[in-house]
Amino acid sequence: MTNNDTATQLLDTAQLLIQKRGYNAFSYKHLATTVGVRTSSIHYHFQTKADLGKALMDRYLAELEQALDNIDRKGRTNKAKLKQFISLYRETEDDGVVCLCGSLATDYETLPVALQRAVSTYLRRCEQWVAEKIDEGVGEGELALSGSSTDAAATLVASLQGGLILSRARGGPPVLDNVQRTFLAALNAS
């Protein structure tokens, strides 16, 4: 399908542009020239910029669920699962971009409501999943934690998103390596 091809290409490119430049610095014109079509063609596939954004987040959320599923099925220990989760973001850092969701979260106030909701959902899902793994790990005596799992989960998600955002500006070795070490140390699980 040419349809599928172009639509997917539009999604892929738009996502990258948003991750690189932010929602408000990315435009249909920019996207069009990058993909090699006219802006009107983008409007054909995604009537408005808000629709495109929503489609992007829907896909991103589905991919997250898939990734979490994968980790849950393949990971042996909870520590390994959490490491896998972190490495999801660590790969993003290597790409020199931020999480789609973190990018949108910064522009939160300027987003259409549907997008705002999708961003919230994504973030809460991440925190919930992380807290779950920590709880399981602690329950099984695999991990130790001096605070609450909720605190640790919220902090991890914040530091992953923040780490990605700061990484480009700060330069130097990957910030998420520091984050991972700190997080695992707090769980007595280097």
Give the nearer residue to a second copy in terms of CB position, either 7 or 154. Answer: 154
What track of x and - describes contact with a second copy for positions 143 through 172 (by CB under 8 A)? Answer: ---xxx-xxx-xx-xxxxxxx-xx-xxxx-
Residues 106 and 165: beta-carbon distance below 8 Å? yes
Residues 2 and 44: beta-carbon distance below 8 Å? no
Query: Could you say which of a second copy, DNA, none residue 124 binds, taking C-beta under 5 to 8 angstroms by partner kind?
Result: a second copy
Angstrom CA distances, 8 to 17, 55, 59, 91, stand at: 14, 10, 11, 21
Distance CA 171, CA 162 (A): 14
CB of 59 to DNA, least distance (A): 17
Sign of the alpha-carbon dihedral angle for 72, 74, 80, 82 = negative
Residue 21 binds DNA, judged by CB under 7 A: no
Residue 8 binds DNA, judged by CB under 7 A: no
Near DNA in 33-52, by CB under 7 A: 36-41, 43-45, 47-50
Which residues are near DNA by CB under 7 A?
1-7, 26-30, 36-41, 43-45, 47-50
